[in-house]
Structure 1
Amino acid sequence: MRIHIATAEDAHSISKIWSECFTDDTNYIDNFLNNCLPHCKTFLLTPKNEDNAVASLSVLPCYTQYKGKNYKGGYVYAVGTLPEHRGKSYSKYLTEEAFRYARIEKLSFLVVKPATESLYELYSKLSFDTTLYEKITKIRTNRSYNFTSDGLIMSKRVPTVRSFTLFWDIDRIYNLRERYLSKESILHSKEILSYAIKEISYRKGSFESFYYSNQKDDPVFYVCYPSENNDSLVYVIDHNINNGSVLDDFISENTSTFPNLKYYQFINLPNIVSKRCRTKKIKSALVKSFEEDSGFNKHLSKLRLSLPME
C-alpha cells in the first residue's frame, strides 16, 4: 500500500474516485481539480498490485483567530473510496496520514464535517474528539422581525441591491467574512473561499449582498441556496445579519428570487431574532486539536465550520 500527495498528473484517478463516490457532474469535478487541488493537499491511497489510486482525502487550508493571532488548521474534505475497495480501513489510513501531515506542518487543528450520524461515530473513533455545534433558526417569509428587545418596531432603512462579482471582489468578501465571522467560525483561506463560493453555485446558490444608500456601514452579505427536495425552503449558511430590521430587508430583497419560498433556515441568527423563532442546536463538525493550550482548545470547541461544502 502506498499513500502519496496528489499532483496534476493524478487528475484521472481523482476524477474516477469523485465520480463514483460523490457526483458524476464533470463540471463539479473540474471545479475541484482546477480551483481547489492546487491550493490543498490531497492524499491518494494505492493498494499493492494496483496501478491507480482507489481512495482519497483532501486537507483544505483554514484558520481561526484567538487572542489576535491566526491559528492554521486543515479542513478534511472529500474522503472517498471506490466501492469495490471499501471495508479495508483505507479512510482510516488516509486520516492517519492527514494527522502526520498536520503535525509536520504544525497545524493547530483538523476539522471534518461528517455527512451522516454514523460517520460522526467513525471520525470520533479516529481521534476527532470534540463536537462543534451551531444554532439553526427557521423563519417565515410572511412576517416581520423588525423589533427591538423591548418590542418596539424599528424604523425602516432603504437598501440598495448589489451582487458581488467573484472575480474582482474576492478580497473584499474575504475581509468582510473575517471581520464579522472570525469570532465564531473556522474560516477558509482566500483560495478555498473562492472555490467554496463556486461550489455553492452548483447547488443553485450564491454569495450576494446589499447595502444601505443612506449609511456608510459595510454591506449586508449572505450565502444561500435552495433545498433540493423542498422548493419552499432556502438555507442561509453564512451572513452578517445582526437584527430584525436587516432581516426584514433581506427577506424583501429575495422574494422574487425564490417565488415559492415560505421559509428560510438560518445558521446563527442573533438572539434578538432567534429567541422568538423555532431554534435548535445541531452538530456542525468534529475537530481534532494539536495544541496544548487549554484556552485555545476551549475557544476551538465553541466555533462552527463556516461555509462547509457538500
Structure 2
Amino acid sequence: MSGAVYGCASPEDRSALMDLWKRVFGDPDDYLSLFFDLRFRPDQALVARNSLDGTPISMLFLLPIVFQSGSLQYRGRYIYAVATDPAFRSRGLSSQLLAEAHRRLSLEGLDFSVLVPAERSLFDYYAARGFRTEFFRCAQTVFAASSPDDVDLSPASLPALLPLRDALGAKSTLYGRWDQEALAYQQRETSLLGGETLSFFWEGKPGYAVCHPTENTVLIKEWGASAVSTPVLSAIAHRFGKNTVQLDLPASPGAGSARPFAMTRWYCKERKYEEGDPPVLSLVLD
C-alpha cells in the first residue's frame, strides 16, 4: 500500500490494536485484556498506519526470547500476532512490516527472529521472506488407563519451574528460553483458558505438564519430563474427565511423522550448535 507509514506503536494505539486483533483473530475481550495488560510494550510492536488518519491497519509484536545451545546464547524476538485489517489486505503491508522488523532487529544487534506460521500454507510465504524451518513437532495421542496409577498431581508455578525447564532444555540442540515475565504471563493465559500447570514426581524424578483441556481431550502445551509417562498422562486425563491426552513433542526433521512447526531468520553471520536432542520451542501462545 503506497503511503502507509511504518514504525513502532505508541501507548495511545492500545485500543486500536485491540480492535484490530479482535477483527482478525476473534479472541474474547478478557484474553485481549490479559495480553495488552501484561505483554504489550509499544517499543515491541510494529504497526503500519493509514496515511490518511494514522490508524493502525497492520501490526506485529516482537516478544523477547533467548535461544540456547549448550553454553551458547543468542538473543532474539518471537514475532507474534501478525495481522492486517481485512479491508487493507493484499497490499503488501505484512511483508513491509516484516522487512521493517528485520531491519530494526539487525540494527539492534539481535541474532534472530522466530515465528510459528498459523497455517501450513504460510510456511512458503515466510520462506520467501528469509525464514527457514528449524523446529519440528510430532503429535502423539495417549489413551488413559481405566484405572490410573496413584500419581500425585499438584498445581505449579511456571516461573518456579524455570530451573527444571532449563535443565531439560539444555539437552536440546536449540532451546527457546522464555524469561520469568513471559512464563508468568503464559501461566495466566493457561488459567484463563481453563487449563493448569501441573507438577509431579514419577520414578523418583520431577516433571511438569502445561495442560489445556478441550471438548474431547487434554492438550499438553509443554511436557516437562525426560520421557513420556503413560501413568502420569492417564492421571492428567482423569483429572480433566477426558479419555485421551494429546502431546505435541519436539522431533527431528527426518522423523517419519515430523511436521514443520516454527521458522527462524538469523541476523548474526556466525552461529554454532552443540549436539543434543531435537530443537525445542514451546509456550508460543499458539
State whether residues 75 and 112 of structure 1, in contact with CA within 8 Å, keep that contact through their aligned partners in structure 2. yes
State whether residues 133 and 282 of structure 1, in contact with CA within 8 Å, keep that contact through their aligned partners in structure 2. yes
- SS of the aligned residue for 2:121 comes to helix
State whether residues 159 and 210 of structure 1, in contact with CA within 8 Å, keep that contact through their aligned partners in structure 2. yes
Describe how 1:124-203 pairs up with structure 2 within 5 A. 124-142=127-145, 159-164=151-156, 169-184=157-172, 185-203=175-193
| Whole-angstrom distance in 1 between the partners of 2:70 and 2:61 | 29
Amino acid at match of 1:55: S
State whether residues 40 and 60 of structure 1, in contact with CA within 8 Å, keep that contact through their aligned partners in structure 2. no
Describe how 1:222-301 pairs up with structure 2 within 5 A. 222-227=209-214, 231-243=215-227, 246-252=229-235, 254-259=236-241, 261-268=242-249, 280-293=257-270, 295-296=272-273
> How far does residue 302 in structure 1 lie from its aligned partner after superposition?
4.8
Amino acid at match of 1:226: P
1:205 aligns with 2:188: no
Aligned to 1:10: 13
TM-score (norm. length: structure 2)? 0.86
1:141-187, Cα deviation, whole Å (9 max, x unpaired):
13899xxxxxxxxxx8x6433212xxxx4542222211212443312
TM-score (norm. length: structure 1)? 0.79
| Whole-angstrom distance in 2 between the partners of 1:283 and 1:257 | 31
| Whole-angstrom distance in 2 between the partners of 1:39 and 1:162 | 37
| Whole-angstrom distance in 2 between the partners of 1:299 and 1:289 | 19
> How far does residue 247 in structure 1 lie from its aligned partner after superposition?
3.5
Aligned to 1:151: none
State whether residues 133 and 281 of structure 1, in contact with CA within 8 Å, keep that contact through their aligned partners in structure 2. yes
> How far does residue 222 in structure 1 lie from its aligned partner after superposition?
0.6
1:21 aligns with 2:4: no
State whether residues 130 and 288 of structure 1, in contact with CA within 8 Å, keep that contact through their aligned partners in structure 2. no
> How far does residue 40 in structure 1 lie from its aligned partner after superposition?
6.8
> How far does residue 220 in structure 1 lie from its aligned partner after superposition?
1.6
1:303 aligns with 2:285: no
- Going from structure 1 to structure 2, the CA distance change for 1:143 and 1:267 (only over 3 Å counts) comes to farther
| Whole-angstrom distance in 2 between the partners of 1:233 and 1:62 | 30
Aligned to 1:36: 39
> How far does residue 190 in structure 1 lie from its aligned partner after superposition?
2.1
1:208-239, Cα deviation, whole Å (9 max, x unpaired):
21236x95x5x321112123xxx332211212
| Whole-angstrom distance in 2 between the partners of 1:84 and 1:301 | 44
- Going from structure 1 to structure 2, the CA distance change for 1:71 and 1:40 (only over 3 Å counts) comes to farther
| Whole-angstrom distance in 2 between the partners of 1:79 and 1:299 | 32
- Regions of 4+ moved over 6 Å: 298-301
- SS of the aligned residue for 1:204 comes to coil
| Whole-angstrom distance in 2 between the partners of 1:66 and 1:5 | 31
Aligned to 1:273: none
1:37-89, Cα deviation, whole Å (9 max, x unpaired):
13970111102113311111001111111241321111110011111111111
